[in-house]
Amino acid sequence: MQKGYFITGTDTGVGKTWATLALMAHLQQAGHCVLGMKPVASGCEQTAEGLRNEDALLIQQQSTIALPYDAINPYAFAPAIAPHLAATQAGVEIDLSHLTGSARALQQQSDYLIVEGAGGWLVPLNKASSIADLAWQLQLPVILVVSLRLGCINHALLSATAIRQSGCELAGWVANILDPQMPCLQQNIDSITARVPAPLLGTLPYQQQRNTMQLAQHLSV
């Protein structure tokens, strides 16, 4: 069976992309062929080649094999708004079977496929389905990225509960240090570790400038 992970987070802007890139690098360092995917992205820039999303471009660069942009990011929308609203504005309905087909094609070319979600776990993709449904259809174990800030314990526990209620496997969680001055940093990590029924796969340190290779050293998957 092809392997991979679905990366979700406690919110938007919590470090999913940094964790995705770090995990890809970590698996590449072990000699694996790793491809990445950002199935749905809003907040894209219009370029001569079409709409381009920063996360998807980074994932494209990190992938072991050169892939066409559309294979990595099948649904790209310009406004930086919730994906189902951006899709509606664009007159598009996000089709989960199209996304699972795209993911399968990437899995056939790789040892691992790392899929970055959009926002958090219950972000809607269309009238009926959400990120949770996409992750379930992809049948990938889920990694939850938690940015350490006030409120993160509640957000981590809510997300972990929802992931397991969706029927998905929670492979583990990643602590991301966005604020190195956060009070009781380690106690927050310990509080989540004690309550989430899945392992802490690593703590990503605060970096002024992203160094993916160095971030990769902090993961154990």
Ligand X SMILES: Nc1ncnc2c1ncn2[C@@H]1O[C@H](COP(=O)(O)OP(=O)(O)OP(=O)(O)O)[C@@H](O)[C@H]1O
In the complex with ligand X, which residue's Cβ is closer, 4 or 15? 15
Q: Which two tokens stand for residue 38?
A: 């950002």
- Which window, 40-48, 55-63, 120-128, 192-200, contacts Mg ion (CB under 5 A)? 55-63
Binding-site partner at residue 124 among Mg ion, ligand X, none, CB < 5 to 8 Å by type: none
Q: What is the spatial distance between Cα 218 and Cα 221, in angstroms, rounded to a whole number? A: 10
* DSSP at 123: -
Shortest separation between residue 210's beta carbon and Mg ion, angstroms: 12
Of 79, 63, 55, 60, give the one whose Cα is nearest residue 25: 63
Give the x-and-dash track for 77-116 against ligand X (CB under 6 A): ----------------------------------------
In the complex with ligand X, which residue's Cβ is closer, 90 or 178? 178
In the complex with Mg ion, which residue's Cβ is closer, 54 or 190? 54
Q: What radius of gyration, in Å, describes the C-alpha atoms of the chain?
A: 16
Amino acid at 119: G
By CB under 5 A, residue 16 contacts Mg ion? yes
Tokens 């971030």 belong to: 215
By CB under 5 A, residue 17 contacts Mg ion? yes
CA distances from 71 to 32, 203, 218 (A): 20, 30, 29
Could you tell me whether strands 34-37 and 3-9 are parallel, antiparallel, or unpaired per DSSP bridges? unpaired
Whether 16 sits among the annotated catalytic residues: the reply is no
By CB under 5 A, residue 119 contacts Mg ion? no
By CB under 5 A, residue 55 contacts Mg ion? yes
Of 15, 16, 44, give the one whose Cα is nearest residue 135: 16
Would you tell me which residues interact with Mg ion (CB under 5 A)? 16-17, 55
User: Mind telling me the catalytic residues?
Assistant: 38
